[in-house]
Amino acid sequence: MITDTTTLYLYVETPLHAGVGSGLSSIDLPIQRERTTQYPMIQGSGIKGKLRAALEGDREKLPEEKKTLVDILFGPPTTGARNSDNDHAGALIAGDARILLFPVRSLNGVFAYTTSYDVLNRFKRDMERGKPEQRPTWSIPEAEAGKALVTTSSEVQSNNTLVLEEFSFDTQASQQVDIIAQWLAENALPELGGDYWANKVKSSLVILPNDDFRDFALYATEIITRVRITRDTKTVADGALWTEEHLPTDTLLYVPMHATSARKKGATLSAAQVLEKIKELDTNYLQLGGDETVGRGLVRIRWGQ
């Protein structure tokens, strides 16, 4: 039974391709998306596997105490012979990574951090499973069709107009957006070096109408064309030209993380201790998705309270 909860925030620093194999559209390798909303997401199994890899490293070189901790958190290794007396589930439960802020090219201010009434309400709903002190208390304003809500110090709008990609919105400054931007900068944004990025959120947060945000999240991702070159001829190999979809740099996602008390026989870790142990992970970065060898998928992480 789940008895403790926290949140893991992921800030994308290089384009991230968490793929689904082949696609039926013009994009050969699309990214993972929710079925109903079509919002980008990353399946929890991939995040849990990467957390285990980051904590475990080379298992053969780990001391027995560290191996036991890894097994408590994630379950015993699945390779080799299994002993039913020692089989147990891990105490750490990783949810799917969900979109919170999606960057969109802006005529002013380079880019805007966009979100929507629907996304923010889903985020608050997910946070309700955590401790009361973790839950945001702000209310969420809803943007009318054709309008965008911005902060009172917005740098992405000019003359009450916001231009994202080729689309124009009338803007309305809202102190409630200021409050949300302040909370996100203080509680969700990882340490990115200096105050620039926190101030960027405060000056560039935009709440869009639900349908407009969905369309940007669906059609404003980064599409990269890749090739494989034949070594001898230095030309593209047959069938080795393809397109990949990526989550763009500066996307912010969140992962609901849950825990039970240790399920391993003889272990005594509580759910709260399980979460504290994973928060002690000795890295500020994870590398998610494919294309690791070309630098894709680097994300900066931050743990909630």
pLDDT value for 219: 95
- Shared domain for 135 and 67, answered yes or no, is no
pLDDT at 91: 93
> What local confidence, expressed as pLDDT, does residue 305 receive?
76
Q: Residue 264: which domain range?
A: 1-18+44-95+252-305
Identify whether 1 is part of a domain.
yes
Per-residue H/E/C for the chain? CCCEEEEEEEEECCCECCECCCCCCCCCECECECCCCCCEEECHHHHHHHHHHHHHCCHHHCCHHHHHHHHHHHCCCCCCCCCCCCCCCCCEEECCEEEEEEEEEECCCCEEEEEEHHHHHHHHHHHCCCCHHHCCCCCCCCCCCCEEEECCCCCCEECCEEEECCEEEEEEECHHHHHHHHHHHHHCCCCCCCCHHHHHHHHHEEEECHHHHHHHHHHCCEEEEEEEECCCCCCEEEEEEEEEEEECCCCEEEEEEEECCCCCCCCCCCHHHHHHHHHCCCCCEEECCCCHHHCCCEEEEEECC
Residue 239 belongs to some domain of the structure? no
76 and 160 assigned to the same domain: no
Q: Would 131 be classed as within a structural domain?
A: yes
The total of structural domains in the chain comes to 2
Rounded to 5 degrees, φ, ψ at 74 are -120, -5
pLDDT of residue 86: 61
pLDDT value of residue 2 = 87
Whole-number Å distance between alpha carbons of 185 and 199: 8
pLDDT in tens, the chain (305 residues): 788 999 999 999 999 999 876 665 678 889 999 999 999 999 999 999 999 999 988 888 888 888 899 999 998 887 655 555 567 889 999 999 999 999 999 999 999 999 999 999 999 999 998 888 888 999 999 999 999 999 999 999 999 999 999 999 999 999 999 999 999 999 999 998 889 999 999 999 999 999 999 999 999 999 998 888 887 887 778 778 888 999 999 999 999 999 999 988 888 899 999 999 999 888 899 999 988 888 999 999 999 97
Same domain, 129 and 214: yes
Instruction: Return the pLDDT at 92.
Output: 95
Residues 84 and 107 in one domain: no
Say yes or no: 214 and 274 in one domain: no
What pLDDT does residue 26 have? 75
pLDDT of residue 245: 94
pLDDT at 79: 64
84 and 114 share one domain: no
